Chain A
Amino acid sequence: MAQRTALYEKHLAAGGKIVDFAGWDMPIHYGSQIEEHHTVRNSAGVFDVSHMTVIDFKGAATREFLQYLLANDVGKLNTPGKALYSCMLNERGGVIDDLITYYMQDNWYRMVVNAATREKDLAWINRQAAPFAIEITERAELAMLAVQGPEARDKVHAVMGGTINAARELAPFFAAQCADIFIARTGYTGEDGYEIILPAGKASGLWDQLLAAGVKPIGLGARDTLRLEAGMNLYGQDMDETTTPLESGLAWTVAWQPAERRFIGRPALEQQREAGVQRKLVGLVLLDRGVLRSHQKVFVSNAGEGETTSGSFAPTLNCSIAFARVPAQTGNECEVEIRNKKLRAKIVKPPFVRFGKSCID
């Protein structure tokens, strides 16, 4: 039997169509995925992301451990509350997961990892942590809501009032703990908003208040089209243990400096960088009529072949877009094979959409 979040009954009440996602009964949409997508671009929507895994790290050696565990450097985090996006790599430089780490206090970091990778992540982290004196606690008793869109923050301020005073002035990519409510100005949509981690018993109340304030429930379907337009990778599709960040559009998340920082996967990445990275992840915009999907074959003249990793109709752009892993020397255009036809696509640098506006010509 699939796991259910504290909001499962709320999803049913809101007309959510429930599907299995990584062993969780989650809403894929509440009627129209495209309408939900536009709601987040134009006003405000709320996602139940309680299936994601929250892990707390405590102890004086935490910073040192995370500097070893992650390809990005938590040493960059000098202000409490600051968040960092990073990949967690294996020794071959392959991506075990992508995640966000929040530096809350010198002896407290919080990490949010994907639901589908929960078990292997926890096993890997605990194994790597053995030599370090730190305490690692999964916070399965917490729920997580993402409220996203141009009106999201105002709605949250109106609903949560004084309980989150410390959050009102949060800069992007910062978090604050307000009593038992953790609130971060982060997200996975390319819009402004918050991710709120709170005791599961409080999730339904907040959900009801948000809906009463006009915030609409948004399913996992729109979450996927929003993140794709925003140029954000999805673990398991756009990168996995067989690909490195350098081949996945994530070179910017690898902190090479300081040179003496030893992190897991560093030697493999350095070797790949010196040998020359053979493949890259790019954005595609379909020029002909059709819909890009994952695992379609990509042809690049004089460079070879590649494959789409994520693809969809993009509601904000009213055309089809994708990520594709292609030969490094790929230029500005390619062809994608859809049902035995080769369709023309333009190659762009993601994001496709940011803050409701198109980023492509």
Chain B
Amino acid sequence: MSNIPEDLYYTKTHEWVKQDADGTLTVGITDHAQHLLGDMVFIELPDAGSAFNTGDDCAVVESVKAASDVYCPVSGEIIETNVALLETPEVVNQDPYGDGWLLRLKPNDAGEVEDLLDAETYKELAAEEAH
């Protein structure tokens, strides 16, 4: 069973979102997602300063098996990306909720994060997919 921390928000498309104290959001892909995709070999990240709407593809993670879009969980502006991953994409496999984070986002609407899934709901979704 994959690791699904209680204190994060989730999307149906397997991104996780962490609300930081200053109101910014950190985004990555879930342990379930990295497991499904397999060994990461390439990461494409957006430019800092670029803006995305909810559901826009904002990054690409490619495993040895396939390429997969990462969708922006809430609308906002990219304030930082994890450029270390460009050289070490395998960190997304090793530490998806820690050093494997993808980007930081300043949300347009601080409340939008509440529309995302909680850990319990995401757990059910991931369990369904595992069957």
Contact = CB atoms under 8 A, between A and B. Distances in A.
Interface of A: 28-29, 32-34, 221, 225, 289-291, 293, 312-313, 315, 320, 339
B64 A313 contact: yes
A29 B38 CA distance: 9
Nearest to A315: B64
22 contacts: A28-B65, A29-B38, A32-B39, A33-B38, A33-B39, A33-B65, A34-B39, A34-B64, A221-B38, A221-B64, A289-B42, A289-B44, A289-B86, A290-B42, A291-B42, A291-B67, A293-B66, A293-B67, A313-B42, A313-B62, A313-B64, A320-B42
What 6 A-B pairs have minimum CB-CB distances, sorted nearest first?
A313-B41, A34-B39, A291-B62, A291-B42, A33-B64, A313-B64
Interface string B57-92: 000101011110000000000000000001000000
Interface in B45-65: 60, 62, 64-65
Contacts of A293: 66-67
B92 to A, nearest CB: 13
In which size bucket is the chain B interface? 10 to 19
A339 B62 CA distance: 12
A61 B31 CA distance: 59
B49 to A, nearest CB: 20
Nearest to A319: B41
A69 B60 CA distance: 47
Q: Which of B38, B41, B62, B64 has the most chain A CB atoms closer than 10 A to its own CB?
A: B64
Nearest to B65: A221
Contact of B41 (A29, A221, A291, A339): A291
A312 B42 contact: no
Contacts of B60: 339
Nearest to A313: B41
B67 A312 contact: no
Nearest to B38: A33
Contacts of A320: 42
A95 B76 CA distance: 52
A65 B42 CA distance: 49
